[in-house]
Amino acid sequence: MINLIYLTVLLPLLGFLINGLIGRKIKNEKVIGIIGSGTVGIAFVIIILAFIETLALPVENRSNTVELFTWISAAGLNIKFAYLVDQLSLTMSLIVTGVGFLIHVYSIGYMHGDKGFWRFFAYLNLFIFAMMNLVLGDNFVVLFLGWEGVGLCSYLLIGFWYDRKFEKGTTSQAAKKAFVVNRIGDFGFLLGMFLIYFTFDSLNFKEVFSRAESFPVAELTFGLIALFLFIGAAGKSAQIPLFVWLPDAMAGPTPVSALIHAATMVTAGVYMVSRASIIFASAPAVMMIVAVIGLVTAIMAASIGLVQNDIKKVLAYSTISQLGYMFLAAGVGAFSASIFHLMTHAFFKALLFLGAGSVIHGMHEEQNIQKYGGLKKYMPKTYLTFFIATLAISGVPGLSGFFSKDEILWSAYANGGFVFWLIGAITAMLTAFYMFRLVSLTFYSKERFDHHHVHPHESPAVMTVPLMILAFLSVVGGYIGIPKVFSGEHGNLFEGWLEPIYAPALAKLATFGSHSHLEEILLMAVSVAAALSAIYFSLYVYTKKLQIAENVSIKFKGIYYLLWNKYFVDEVYEAAVVEPIQKGSEKLLWKIFDVKIIDGLANGVASLVESGSGIIRKIQTGITQFYAVVMMAGIAFALLWLILSL
Amino acid sequence: MEQNLLLTYLLLTPIIGSVLVLFLKKEQKQLIRLFGLAVSLVAFVVSLVVYFEFNQANPQFQFIHQVIWIKSLNISYHVGVDGISLLLVLLTTFLTPLTLLSSWKAIEKNLKMFTFSMLFLEVGMLGVFISLDLFLFYIFWEAMLIPMYFIIGIWGGERRIYAAVKFFIFTMFGSLLMLVAIIWLAVYASTTLGYFTTNLIELYKVGPTIPHQIQTWMFGAFFLSFAIKVPLFPLHTWLPDAHVEAPTAGSVILAGVLLKMGTYGFVRFCLPLFPQSSVQFAPIISVVAVIGIIYGALVSMAQTDMKKLVAYSSVSHLGFVVLGIFAMTVESIQGAVIQMINHGLSTGALFLLVGVLYERTHRRDIAFYGGIAKLVPLYSTVLMIATLSSIGLPGLNGFVGEFLILIGSFKSSVLNSWWFTIFAATGVIFAAVYMLWMYQRVVFGEVKNEALKHELTDMNLREMIVIVPIFIFIVWIGVYPNMFLKLTEASTQSILQQVGTFTGNLLK
């Protein structure tokens, strides 16, 4: 099956072509839905088979390349369309196709009756196609093809309801913002690629990474490459300062938020850093930048999440925050932990978004949690699964999120220091708090919706079954990565599986200090206690004493205002970047430089010639006698000159 | 030397066709249209024959046909192609029938004259790309101005006369300087070779031996002439006017092929004839090219007229091409050549699509539109693909060219600085901004004007027949560009070898 891996790319493409070209004529939602989900489902099966096949191979043979054809070749540059099947790409592919398949199925129910049903599934398949290129590509350029491709799908899907309003603008403005901010990141990615090619004379992963170990390259060069790549990653994975597009991306249909803006696409940056781990490990200064940006993003986004009222927005900031954790992990050298968290996050965050979608669906498109309340009894299945996901993200022991988050916090402590751990633990506390605020305001507390117009109802099975599967995964997903402190030296299966990928990078870092087991267990206990108390406090406030929340927001009005307005980052960008460029281009460059100066010059020369020839024209009188006189004068002058020069 | 008449047949097809058109009756409009289309299709088929007979491994000019023309001056009718010119020939013969088909309904006035002009224009363009004699080249270069002048001046918009004259004067100014340089070069040849000649292949040996200071002047004259044609910032202001006023067919040919004559000139004449000056001025020219990339993009962003927006985007895109040429690496020049083709396809498609809207509503201002996705879904999809091609989405053609140009200029030893690439790459961001912004304002949102509901109809079969072939190549070059890159590899290397031999520059 490894040799057939390209089918997992081609099948979604086929689905896209069928639904995209003739979907409008198919009319039957079932057929469209089955084509859309089926292609991804088969791809998932193929990946599982390839995974099993790889697992059966000895460790040193687990990295295989499947070549299709030469894509771009010029001089020394030789880019092949080839896929790399190894531990990391298989892990990512399993997540993408597995979670992707569930979300496809869910969408059949969620998008039921939408006039763009076929279009939605076409885009969704196109997304899987691009995402598979991203994770399977065996060189930076194929990765970039997928990278831009998922960006395009994100653009198309955020603006899916192109005639709708979104907040202060339209969905298409949100879509454009996402694409453009991503392109700023891509600019960095491109430069990173150029520098890689310049330094290592290749863009193929295997070649570049082996040369990164053997070539004598300055640390500064490594640093620049890593920094450029990280700019790309920060764009795609919504990190400071490029995170602003993700909250707006919620303008798209909710399954899109689950698939693209939570589980898969936004994690592409994490994947890329992880893939290039040897380059990052060779640039310790940039590793530090990655860790710090991740950490600051994590706590900043979590703090914004505390006060938002739009259910999807809370989840969006939560996603940014969790992505921050992943970069924190990568930055302190715990690459495996960052991918582990990427996986568990894909389960529980996809579940949260789909659950939110189910709530929105049942509440007639209402997204304001202040207008929910007491939905538990109306939507028991949605409630239960949402609750499980909330426990998972809050880091309650035994669920998947606990294992992955704990791994990150411990690595942050061991390699980054106490402050890293502390901020990480505070973020975990905030996470538990805002998530239970969300659960309380939605499912518990008083019913605050208008019973005459809104009749909450549970969603159909096609939507709730995917929820249950994801809930199951959110619970058990963590047990493949039990921390070594509990499971022994080789007990962490996930880390062991990915170990060969990161071995060169970890050999270079080799800074994992020795800390006692007791220390680890102690810190774990502290962070768990903090999360549990945050949960208790949040439940208490938002189900029993709402008054407290109001009082706090009045007392700390300034902070509340700041958080409510998301630290005014959008406004600052608008005023400092967008406006000057727009105004400058129009007023200065076009209307003054182009029209006045250059054209003015050209037209000036033209009118000079015109008026000049107007004067000279007067000589051409047409009177023969005048010409005769001039001729005679000329002859006389010529003769005179001849005589004088003799 | 063995003579090959294939290129002459190619050239003769539109010549004979354009003469024959004149014998048709003015009233037989359908016949005139069909005849014009048939002639241009025959030319396309002939050019395909050239392509299939072409030997990619051979860096020399092929299909050479040489006939003595003015014996005393050693001027001859001398044509031939290498991989680079062959690609541009194919672009020309490919776009011409499509433009004729696209103006099926749009042109009613003086149809006979229009068809004549378009075919005549094709002769000029083909001639420019296949001439191997500077005198012959100059004749085609100038001859092509005449039909274009009429196409803008007769079938153009309201300010067509201003635009036509501006176009004419700008380009004329440059080409006169080039004429002087050509004559000087031929005279100089008589001192080294012993006879006056305008044979390009022989002059390749002469040019690099010109004393440095004089070579600078010669280079400058050629360069300026081509730079105006490209157009390179800040000589670009004729372009938006010409585009806005020209009819759709004129815009497509103008953007698709005519501008490429400038960049082709750099590759064919400036680099190999004056290698020392080319290397010397490469950094300055590249600075100007990069300014053009950013400037064109920024000014595009500010436009309110769709056609003008696309026109300014050409300034930006061609900045990439010029940067690629003067970075003088194999990657960047191959990228530049493929980008010439790409720009012809994607900008050609964009002009065609703006034309589709204009034919129905006679409006080009972005503000008039909005929400047309609901009214014309097929058109909206097609426009999206053209837009994506223009912003260089990987998997489509634009990416291949931009990527090669940027990666080549990054490692260029002639430019020897990363800043060119870094600044140029910002153009990638801006392209997304102005193109998607236009798309968003035109296509998305609520239907803005009630009038649109009556006037707008979706793409018809004829329009799809025009656009689909372009899209096939947009995808083809994006997914499998190697076929096209192979074609230019040997020729590019031979040009760079020429430059390297005389400047001692390490050119990889």
* Contact at CB, B482 and A72, closer than 8 angstroms: yes
- Residue A379, phi-psi category: left (phi > 0), alpha (psi -120 to 50), beta (remainder): beta
Q: Which amino acid is located at A615 in the chain?
A: I
Residues on chain B touching A166 (C-beta within 8 angstroms): none
Ranking A25-34, A130-139, A279-288, A618-627 by mean pLDDT, the lowest is A618-627
The stretches of B269-305 forming alpha helices (DSSP H) are 271-273, 275-301
Give yes or no for residue B1 having a pLDDT over 60: no
Q: Which two tokens stand for residue A45?
A: 């099966």
Residues on chain A touching B418 (C-beta within 8 angstroms): 194-195
Average pLDDT estimate for A477-506: 84
Answer whether residue A190 is part of any domain.
yes
* Contact at CB, A195 and B445, closer than 8 angstroms: no
Answer whether residue A264 is part of any domain.
yes
CA distance B39 to B10: 11
| Burial classification of residue A358, based on how many CB atoms lie within 10 Å of its CB (0-12 exposed, 13-18 middle, 19 or more buried) | buried
Closest partner CB to A144 (pick from B334, B394, B446): B394
A370, A481: one domain: yes
CA distance A20 to A29: 14
For residues A322 and A345, the answer to whether their CB atoms sit within 8 Å is: yes
- Indicate which of A21, A172, A595 best probes the interface with B, i.e. most B CBs within 10 Å of its own CB: A172
Instruction: Tell me B103's DSSP state.
Output: T
Token pair 């005459």 in the structure block, residue = A452
Residues on chain A touching B228 (C-beta within 8 angstroms): none
Residue A514 has what pLDDT?
A: 66
A49, A190: one domain: no
Residues on chain B touching A141 (C-beta within 8 angstroms): 394, 403
Between helices A87-110 and A117-136, what is the axis angle to 10°?
Answer: 170
A384, A531: one domain: yes
Closest partner CB to A183 (pick from B166, B418, B429): B429
* Shortest Cα–Cα distance, A185 to chain B (Å): 9
- Indicate which of B166, B303, B333, B407 best probes the interface with A, i.e. most A CBs within 10 Å of its own CB: B407
CA distance A425 to A532: 12
CA distance A532 to B321: 61
A408-434 pLDDT tens trace: 999 898 888 889 999 999 999 999 999
Residue A578 has what pLDDT?
A: 78
Residue B505 has what pLDDT?
A: 58
CA distance A353 to A261: 10
For residues B172 and B145, the answer to whether their CB atoms sit within 8 Å is: yes
Question: Residue B62 belongs to what H/E stretch?
Answer: strand B62-70
Give the residue from A563, A596, A612 where a domain finishes. A563
Average pLDDT estimate for B178-184: 91
A194-209 pLDDT tens trace: 999 999 999 999 999 9
Closest partner CB to A190 (pick from B169, B406, B408): B406
Closest partner CB to B444 (pick from A24, A170, A598): A170
Average pLDDT estimate for A242-269: 90
Three-state SS for B75? strand
What is the full DSSP assignment across A172-234?
HHHHHHHHHHHHHHHHHHHHHHHHHHHHHS--BHHHHHHHHHHS---HHHHHHHHHHHHHHHH
- With CA atoms as reference, report the closest residue to B197 among B64, B78, B63: B78
| Minimal-distance CA residue of chain A relative to B438 | A176
CA distance A274 to A410: 19
| Length of chain B, in residues | 508
Residues on chain B touching A594 (C-beta within 8 angstroms): 237, 299
Residue B508 has what pLDDT?
A: 42
Closest partner CB to A176 (pick from B395, B421, B440): B440
pLDDT-derived band at B506, boundaries 50, 70, 90:
very low
Average pLDDT estimate for B3-10: 89
Number of domain units in chain A: 4
A417, A515: one domain: yes
Residue B238 has what pLDDT?
A: 87
Residue A237 has what pLDDT?
A: 92
| Minimal-distance CA residue of chain A relative to B411 | A198
Residues on chain B touching A228 (C-beta within 8 angstroms): none
How many beta-carbon pairs below 8 A join chains A and B?
141
Number of H helices, E strands in chain B: 23, 2
* Contact at CB, A585 and B301, closer than 8 angstroms: yes
Report the share of chain A in percent with pLDDT over 90. 47
A405, A473: one domain: yes
* Contact at CB, A585 and B302, closer than 8 angstroms: yes
Using only C-alpha atoms, what is the Rg of chain B? 22
A308, A456: one domain: yes
A309, A238: one domain: no
Average pLDDT estimate for A353-379: 87
B215, HSE (Cβ side, Cα atoms, 13 Å): 22
* Contact at CB, B331 and A75, closer than 8 angstroms: yes
Average pLDDT estimate for B20-41: 89
Average pLDDT estimate for A489-493: 80
For residues B270 and B224, the answer to whether their CB atoms sit within 8 Å is: no
Within a 10 A sphere around the Cβ of A598, how many other Cβ atoms? 16
User: CA torsion B429→B431→B434→B440, rounded to 10°?
Assistant: -90
Give the residue from A530, A563, A596 where a domain finishes. A563
Closest partner CB to A602 (pick from B237, B421, B437): B237
CA distance B202 to B62: 16
Residue A582 has what pLDDT?
A: 79
A548, A577: one domain: no
Average pLDDT estimate for B420-449: 88
Answer whether residue A154 is part of any domain.
no
Average pLDDT estimate for A551-563: 81
- With CA atoms as reference, report the closest residue to A289 among A354, A221, A226: A226
Residue A423 has what pLDDT?
A: 93
Give yes or no for residue A138 having a pLDDT over 60: yes
Give the residue from A563, A590, A615 where a domain finishes. A563
Residues on chain A touching B301 (C-beta within 8 angstroms): 581-582, 585-586
* Contact at CB, A584 and B298, closer than 8 angstroms: yes
First to last CA, chain A: 103
More confident residue, B324 or B241: B324
B251-289 pLDDT tens trace: 999 999 999 999 999 999 999 999 999 999 999 999 999
Average pLDDT estimate for A336-347: 93
State yes or no: cis peptide before B231, omega within 30 of 0: yes
Residues on chain A touching B399 (C-beta within 8 angstroms): 148
User: Which residues make beta-bridge pairs with A603?
Assistant: none
* Contact at CB, A187 and B428, closer than 8 angstroms: yes
Residues on chain B touching A190 (C-beta within 8 angstroms): 403, 406, 425, 428
Within a 10 A sphere around the Cβ of B413, how many other Cβ atoms? 13
Answer whether residue A258 is part of any domain.
yes
Closest partner CB to A162 (pick from B302, B373, B408): B373
Give yes or no for residue A88 having a pLDDT over 90: yes
A310, A391: one domain: yes
State yes or no: cis peptide before B234, omega within 30 of 0: yes
What is the full DSSP assignment across A571-603?
HHHIIIIIHHHHHIIIIIIIIIIIIIIIHHHHH
Residues on chain B touching A72 (C-beta within 8 angstroms): 400, 403-404, 481-482, 485
Residues on chain B touching A179 (C-beta within 8 angstroms): 432, 436
Residue A507 has what pLDDT?
A: 84
Answer whether residue A41 is part of any domain.
yes
* Shortest Cα–Cα distance, B427 to chain A (Å): 9
For residues A386 and A295, the answer to whether their CB atoms sit within 8 Å is: no
B12 contact partners, CB below 8 Å, separation of at least 6: none
CA distance B308 to B385: 20
Give yes or no for residue A606 having a pLDDT over 80: no
How big, in percent rounded to 5, are the helix, strand and coil portions of chain B? Answer: 75, 5, 20
What is the sign, positive or negative, of the torsion defined by CA atoms of B199, B200, B206, B210? positive
* Contact at CB, B410 and A194, closer than 8 angstroms: yes
Average pLDDT estimate for A163-190: 85
* Contact at CB, B440 and A152, closer than 8 angstroms: no
CA distance B290 to B268: 22
- With CA atoms as reference, report the closest residue to A40 among A74, A79, A14, A2: A14
The domain containing residue A405 runs over which residues? 293-563
* Shortest Cα–Cα distance, B394 to chain A (Å): 5
Average pLDDT estimate for A267-293: 93
A8 contact partners, CB below 8 Å, separation of at least 6: A43, A46, A47, A93, A97, A132, A136
- Indicate which of B162, B387, B421, B429 best probes the interface with A, i.e. most A CBs within 10 Å of its own CB: B429
A377, A516: one domain: yes
Answer whether residue A439 is part of any domain.
yes
* Shortest Cα–Cα distance, A217 to chain B (Å): 16
CA distance B184 to A294: 65
Average pLDDT estimate for A264-268: 92
Residue A197 has what pLDDT?
A: 93
Token pair 């022991």 in the structure block, residue = A397
Answer whether residue A114 is part of any domain.
yes
What is the full DSSP assignment across A526-573?
HHHHHHHHHHHHHHIIIII-HHHHHHHHHHTHHHHHHHHTGGGHHHHH
Residues on chain A touching B170 (C-beta within 8 angstroms): 602
A473, A380: one domain: yes
Closest partner CB to A194 (pick from B170, B421, B508): B421
Answer whether residue A369 is part of any domain.
yes
More confident residue, A381 or A165: A381
* Contact at CB, B299 and A173, closer than 8 angstroms: no
Three-state SS for A79? strand
A88, A175: one domain: no
Ranking A103-112, A147-156, A298-307, A584-593 by mean pLDDT, the lowest is A584-593
